[in-house]
Amino acid sequence: NAGVTQTPKFRVLKTGQSMTLLCAQDMNHEYMYWYRQDPGMGLRLIHYSVGEGTTAKGEVPDGYNVSRLKKQNFLLGLESAAPSQTSVYFCASSSGISYGYTFGSGTRLTVV
């Protein structure tokens, strides 16, 4: 029972490069989320999905794109990385908000 798996765990990018973060869950959850964590700012919602094939913007969506082609996967893309996107990224999933979220272990991304 893996729960929520994020890959990669660490990555260093140069400004302007692109990359995709993968989130996979094996709990058959409908809802999936991408957050970023920055010191003193808690976790801020980037994008989320309420079901397969759906996506929606969160609080800080600029510079990111997402896709949920399969129910178990939620991809976060950075088309042209900027130093301001240096952060720790968390994926989470949920079967309903009353249960809270199950989180992945996070991805530390550094953009130089």
Partner 1 sequence: AQTVTQSQPEMSVQEAETVTLSCTYDTSESNYYLFWYKQPPSRQMILVIRQEAYKQQNATENRFSVNFQKAAKSFSLKISDSQLGDTAMYFCAFEQGAQKLVFGQGTRLTINP
In angstroms and rounded to an integer, the radius of gyration of the C-alpha atoms of the chain is: 13
Least spacing, CB of residue 81 vs partner 1, in Å: 21
Residue type, 87: S
Whole-number Å distance between alpha carbons of 83 and 15: 7
Whole-number Å distance between alpha carbons of 72 and 8: 17
Region of 10-18, 20-28, 62-70, 96-104 interacting with partner 1 (CB under 8 A): 96-104
Q: Which is nearer to partner 1, 13 or 34 (CB)?
A: 34
Q: Which is nearer to partner 1, 14 or 40 (CB)?
A: 40
Q: List binders of partner 1 among 37-66 (CB under 8 A).
A: 40-45, 48, 50, 56, 58-59
Least spacing, CB of residue 55 vs partner 1, in Å: 13
Q: Coil, helix or strand for 9?
A: coil
Whole-number Å distance between alpha carbons of 18 and 32: 22
User: For residue 98, which phi and psi values (nearest 5 degrees)?
Assistant: -65, -20
The site for partner 1 (CB under 8 A) is made up of: 31, 33, 35, 40-45, 48, 50, 56, 58-59, 88, 90, 92, 94, 96-101, 103, 105-106
